[in-house]
């Protein structure tokens, strides 16, 4: 898998608050999500669309990816109004909440294709990220993951899933473990990025956030949603390989290449027998490092 764009921390900011959008743009996150869904009341959604459109035109985001979370496709007019009100700002991606079928993705994909053609933009330029946060979304993960070439990532939403199922959120997250595993498994099977659910207690000790992010990284997730600027740096550190990890991976791959050139198969490295699964893991460490801008 090759990362098209690094998304270690994606920071949510309410779409109706220009000051917070500007703060988010300078928080150091790889991506900012200007939210038109949960963070905005129904009465304030028109103003939020206008604020997001203006921010896309006027705020200097630098290298930060500019994304917009729409209202769900199931909301009908709300979702369409979100698209119509923000697309001329040319966001880098749209984040689709509560995706439950391939049709949800295809509907937005078709709309975006027409919008790009009308404006003379490259086809597929605006990417899609699907949040899986309902029981039906989990059940239909395979069809969702294969729905569109515009789709870059699957994201997991534990809070909404628990509400949809009538489950009780716990500190260790055992009630959502199957779904959390299923999302990352399907993302990797279809060559997509996997983004983990936010750690909602942003006032908790940072060690708890780091432990949660590390668990996601060890499961294969490539990034995590953040709901407060103070969460960005700890999350991005977890999803960035350390210098020691990069050095070991580089040496391992170099040794493997030399052995392969000599016609050798399994070999010992630092006291361990090495085979292809370990080589693939080492190459993924190097790919994550490159995606994070680290010269390997």
What 3-state class would DSSP assign to 94?
strand
Mean pLDDT of 265-285: 85
What is residue 260's predicted lDDT score, i.e. its pLDDT?
83
Q: Is the dihedral of CA 121, 124, 127, 131 positive or negative?
A: positive
Q: Residues 222-256: pLDDT tens digits?
A: 999 999 999 999 999 999 998 999 999 999 999 88
Instruction: Give yes or no for a contact between 179 and 158, defined as CB atoms under 8 angstroms apart.
Output: yes
How far is C-alpha 199 from the geometric centre of its chain's CA atoms?
A: 14
What mean pLDDT is predicted for residues 199-220? 93
Whether 39 and 110 map to the same domain: the answer is yes
Counting every residue written for the chain, the total comes to: 296
Asked if residue 25 belongs to a domain, the reply is yes
| Confidence check: pLDDT of 3 > 70 | no
- The last residue of one of the domains, among 238, 256, 281, is 238
Q: Which of 2-11, 23-32, 201-210 has the lowest mean pLDDT?
A: 2-11
Q: Do 181 and 285 share a structural domain?
A: no
Q: Which residue, of 221, 238, 255, is where some domain finishes?
A: 238
pTM, two decimals, is: 0.90
Q: Where are the alpha helices (DSSP H) in 59-134?
A: 77-86, 102-119
pLDDT-above-70 percentage for the chain: 99
As for how many domains the chain has, the answer is 2
* 296 lies in some domain: no
Given a cut of 80, is residue 179 above it in pLDDT?
yes
SS3 state of residue 252: helix
The mean pLDDT value for 100-125 works out to 97
């Amino acid at each position: 898998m090759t990362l098209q764009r690094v998304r270690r921390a994606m920071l949510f900011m309410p779409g109706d608050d220009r000051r917070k959008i500007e703060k988010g743009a300078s928080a150091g996150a790889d991506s900012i999500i200007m939210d038109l869904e949960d963070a905005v009341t129904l009465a304030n959604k028109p103003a939020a669309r206008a604020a997001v459109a203006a921010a896309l035109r006027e705020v200097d985001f630098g290298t930060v990816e500019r994304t917009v979370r729409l209202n769900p496709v199931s909301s009908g007019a709300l979702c369409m109004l979100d698209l119509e009100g923000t697309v001329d700002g040319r966001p880098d991606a749209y984040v689709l909440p509560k995706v439950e079928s391939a049709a949800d993705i295809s509907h937005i994909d078709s709309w975006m294709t027409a919008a790009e053609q009308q404006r003379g933009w490259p086809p597929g330029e605006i990417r899609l990220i699907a949040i899986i946060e309902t029981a039906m979304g989990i059940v239909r993960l395979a069809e969702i993951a294969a729905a569109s070439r515009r789709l870059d990532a699957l994201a997991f939403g534990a809070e909404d899933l628990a509400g949809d199922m009538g489950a009780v959120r716990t500190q260790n997250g055992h009630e959502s473990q199957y779904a959390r595993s299923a999302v990352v498994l399907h993302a990797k099977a279809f060559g997509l990025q996997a983004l983990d659910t936010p750690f909602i207690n942003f006032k908790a000790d940072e060690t708890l956030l780091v432990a949660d992010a590390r668990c996601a990284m060890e499961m294969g997730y490539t990034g995590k949603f953040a709901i407060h600027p103070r969460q960005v740096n700890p999350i991005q550190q977890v999803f960035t390989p350390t210098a020691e990890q990069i050095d070991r991976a580089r040496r391992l791959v170099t040794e493997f290449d030399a052995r392969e050139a000599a016609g050798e198969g399994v070999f010992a490295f630092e006291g361990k027998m090495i085979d292809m699964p370990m080589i693939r893991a080492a190459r993924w460490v190097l790919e994550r490092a490159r995606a994070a801008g680290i010269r390997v």
